[in-house]
């Protein structure tokens, strides 16, 4: 049975499934097939990958194998730092399409605000106007990056994918995105499975009240904030739980209590400055492998 999902509408009217499936670090082919195959079976249709993840071909193969029409899927990928620039981004886009074995990408993002992102955006605007990308956006951009991009663009970014979880809710950036009609998408929506977060007494109490898991409560908190989420798991039980979010609702008091868990703690590195370190690309490739 295909589980329910909801859609969030981008500023251009394109509908995006609010619960997606992230494939970051799923690099072993057998693990990938098991996890993505199960996700498709359960009803996930929104999949988030990136060139740097090294698994675009595997995702394309699983989508083809499903025999489900292409238009039922919503596929996101991202252009990596070393491919930023007008010509380089266009080449990277074509390579991603080839690896995924698709003719268009539903959503294409600039992975980081690294040097060349203004020129890369110009290429993405053209690809969007040609109908090759349905939604164009960014990832890991902070307010100053968005301000600069919008100052030099014809089309404003439609989405920003950023680290977001109860200990790092991105309140200021969230409000900015809402004001400018830019969708907020959360990566690491479960705080990368941080044990201390999952032991939190407030979250456990709320989960007990709803007879849900702590993970489901956290993901539901994102949903009620209007955020798109891309949780990832290779565990079939958790893959199913992560999309079973629409049969309960958190009260305004519960939402407020979760909102008070903000410690300002990132579980990853700050995108400001770090991604332009010359060693960053090499470190990322090693880390992902």
Binding site for substrate: what residues are annotated?
111
Binding site: what residues are annotated?
111
DSSP for 72-99 reads G-EEEEEE-GGG-SHHHHHHHHHHHHHH
Has 176 been annotated as catalytic? no
Class of domain 7-288: alpha beta
**Residues 6+ positions from 251 with CB-CB distance below 8 Å:** none
Q: Which residues pair with 183 in a beta bridge?
A: 159
- Compute the mean pLDDT over every residue in the chain, rounded to the nearest whole number: 94
Question: Per-residue pLDDT tens for 8-48?
Answer: 999 999 999 999 999 999 888 899 999 999 999 999 999 99
pLDDT recorded at residue 274? 52
If pLDDT is split at 50, 70 and 90, which confidence band does 280 have? low
- Domain parsing of the chain, residue ranges: 7-288
Question: Per-residue pLDDT tens for 66-82?
Answer: 999 999 999 999 999 99
Q: Is the pTM of this model over 0.85?
A: yes
Q: Give me the percent of the chain exceeding a pLDDT of 90.
A: 87
Q: Which of 53, 108, 117, 128 is the catalytic position? A: 53
């Amino acid at each position: 049975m295909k589980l329910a999902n909801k859609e969030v509408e981008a500023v251009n009217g394109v509908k995006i499934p609010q619960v997606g499936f992230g494939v970051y670090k799923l690099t072993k082919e057998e693990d990938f097939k098991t996890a993505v195959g199960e996700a498709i079976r359960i009803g996930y249709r929104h999949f988030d990958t990136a060139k740097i993840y090294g698994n675009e071909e595997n995702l394309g193969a699983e989508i083809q194998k499903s025999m489900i029409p292409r238009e039922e899927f919503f596929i996101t990928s991202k252009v990596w730092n070393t491919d930023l620039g007008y010509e380089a981004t266009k080449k990277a886009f074509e390579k991603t399409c080839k690896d995924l074995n698709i003719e268009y990408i539903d959503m294409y993002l600039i992975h980081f605000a690294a040097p060349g992102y203004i020129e890369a955006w110009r290429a993405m605007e053209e690809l969007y106007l040609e109908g090759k990308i349905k939604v164009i956006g960014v990832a890991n951009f902070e307010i100053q990056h968005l301000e600069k991009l919008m100052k030099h663009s014809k089309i404003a970014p439609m989405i920003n994918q950023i680290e977001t979880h109860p200990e790092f809710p991105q309140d200021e950036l969230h409000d900015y995105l809402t004001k400018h009609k830019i969708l907020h998408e959360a990566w690491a929506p479960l705080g990368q499975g941080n044990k201390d977060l999952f032991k939190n007494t407030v979250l456990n109490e709320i989960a007990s009240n709803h007879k849900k898991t702590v993970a489901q409560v956290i993901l539901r908190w994102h949903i009620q904030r209007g955020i798109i989420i891309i949780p990832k798991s290779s565990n079939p039980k958790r893959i199913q739980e992560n999309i079973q979010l629409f049969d309960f609702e958190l009260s305004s008091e519960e939402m407020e209590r979760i909102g008070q868990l903000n410690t300002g703690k990132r579980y990853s590195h700050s995108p400001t400055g770090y991604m332009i370190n010359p060693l960053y690309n090499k470190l990322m490739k090693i880390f992902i492998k």
